[in-house]
Chain A
Amino acid sequence: MKINIALRHTLTHVFIISLGLLMIYPIVWMIVSSFKPNNMIFSDPGLIPKTVTIENYISGWKGYAGTSFEIFFANSLFMCIAAIIGNLISCSMAAYAFARLKFAGRAFWFGVMMITLMLPGHVTLVPRYIMFNTFGWVGTYLPIIVPKFLATDAFFVFLLVQFMRGLPKEVEEAAIIDGCGKVGVYLRIILPLASPALVTTALFTFLWTWDDFFNHLLYLTRPDTFTVSRALRTFVGDAGAVSNWGGALAMSTLSVIPAFILFFALQKYFVQGISTTGIKG
Chain B
Amino acid sequence: MRIMTPIIQFFRRNWVAYLFLAPWLVGFFILTLYPMIYSLVLSFTDYDFTNPASTQWIGIGNYVKMFGSMFGLSEFTTVTGEVMHVDPYYLKSLSVTLSYVLVSVPLKLIFALGVAVLLNQKLRWVPFYRAVYYIPTLLGGSIAIAVLWRKLFEKEGLINGFLAVFGFTDLPSWITDPRYAIWTLVLLSVWQFGSSMIIFLAGLKQIPQEYYDAASVDGANKFQQFYAITIPLLSPVILFNLIIQMIGAFQAFTQAYIIGGGRGGVLNSTLFYTLHLYIQGWTYHEMGYASAMAWVLLLIIGGLTAIVFRSSSLWVSYGVGE
Contacts and interface: CB of A to CB of B under 8 A. Distances in A.
Contacts of A97: 17-18, 20-21
5 contacts: A91-B24, A102-B17, A105-B14, A249-B147, A280-B244
Interface residues of B, number: 102
A107 interface: no
A214 B287 CA distance: 16
Residue among A93, A125, A241 with most chain B CB within 10 A: A125
B162 A45 contact: yes
Given A97-B21, A124-B36, A186-B20, A252 B147 contact: yes
B132 A211 contact: no
Interface in A150-181: 150-152, 157, 181
A74 interface: no
Nearest to A94: B24
Contact of A233 (B35, B143, B194, B247): B143
Given A125-B281, A126-B287, A214-B253, A90 B23 contact: yes
Would you call the interface of chain A mostly helix, strand, loop, or mixed? helix
Contact of B251 (A122, A183, A186): A122
B13 A120 contact: no
Given A26-B158, A119-B298, A101 B16 contact: yes
A111 to B, nearest CB: 12
Contacts of B27: 90, 147, 150-152
B24 A259 contact: no
Contact of B281 (A89, A126, A271): A126
B222 to A, nearest CB: 12
Interface of A: 9, 12-13, 15-17, 19-20, 23-24, 26-27, 29-30, 41-43, 45, 89-91, 93-94, 96-98, 101-106, 109, 112-113, 116, 118-131, 147, 149-152, 157, 181-183, 186, 207, 210-211, 213-214, 217-218, 229, 232-233, 235-242, 245, 248-249, 251-253, 255-256, 259-260, 263-264, 267, 270-271, 274-275, 278-281
Interface in B262-277: 262-263, 265, 274, 277
B98 interface: no
Contacts of B49: 130
Contact of B148 (A9, A103, A252): A252
B100 interface: no
Contacts of B127: 267
A279 B143 contact: no
Contacts of A93: 20-24
Nearest to A214: B253
Contacts of B36: 123-124, 127
B67 interface: no
Nearest to B261: A240
A103 B17 contact: yes
A120 to B, nearest CB: 5
B161 A281 contact: no
B35 A124 contact: yes
A96 B20 contact: yes
Interface in B236-274: 240-241, 244, 247-248, 250-251, 253-254, 257-263, 265, 274
Contacts of B13: 103-104
A263 B143 contact: no
A12 B138 contact: no
Contacts of A239: 261
Contact of A242 (B24, B30, B147, B251): B147
Contacts of A229: 142-143
B150 to A, nearest CB: 7
B144 A252 contact: yes
B297 interface: yes
Interface in B112-152: 115, 118-119, 121, 123, 125, 127, 129-145, 147-152
B294 interface: yes
Given A279-B195, A281-B192, A12 B152 contact: no
B24 A274 contact: no
Given A109-B21, A213-B254, A240-B259, A123 B39 contact: yes
A93 B290 CA distance: 34
Contacts of A232: 143-144, 147
